[in-house]
Amino acid sequence: MNAEKHLHDLGIWPSPAELLQGDFPEWHIWRDLDETHRHGDWVAQHAAELDRYRASDIPALRNLLDKDRRERARLRGQADEPPR
């Protein structure tokens, strides 16, 4: 086993959830608990707004946040355009 894999197996590297949080600092990201107190969906809530997304795993949540980011950029672009 190489040293990098060993460190990764020990949890030294950022988890996928930590990487997601780093890529989307404007969102609060956490793992919800279901009614039996077991891990449920991953949740992301925008820090300045009420927008919230839920997904069963980190890749699905990342996909939702990527789409949201693209849509916000598109809307900002439209808002910056002069009226015709």
Domain ranges across the chain: 16-80
CA distance 1 to 9: 10
23-81 pLDDT, tens digit each? 999 999 999 998 899 999 999 999 999 999 999 999 999 999 999 999 999 998 887 66
Residues forming a β-bridge with 30: 43
- Is the pLDDT reported for residue 1 higher than 60? no
pLDDT of residue 31: 96
**Contact between 66 and 24 (Cβ < 8 Å):** no
**What is the CB neighbour count within 10 angstroms for residue 4?**
10
pLDDT of residue 38: 92
**Contact between 27 and 43 (Cβ < 8 Å):** no
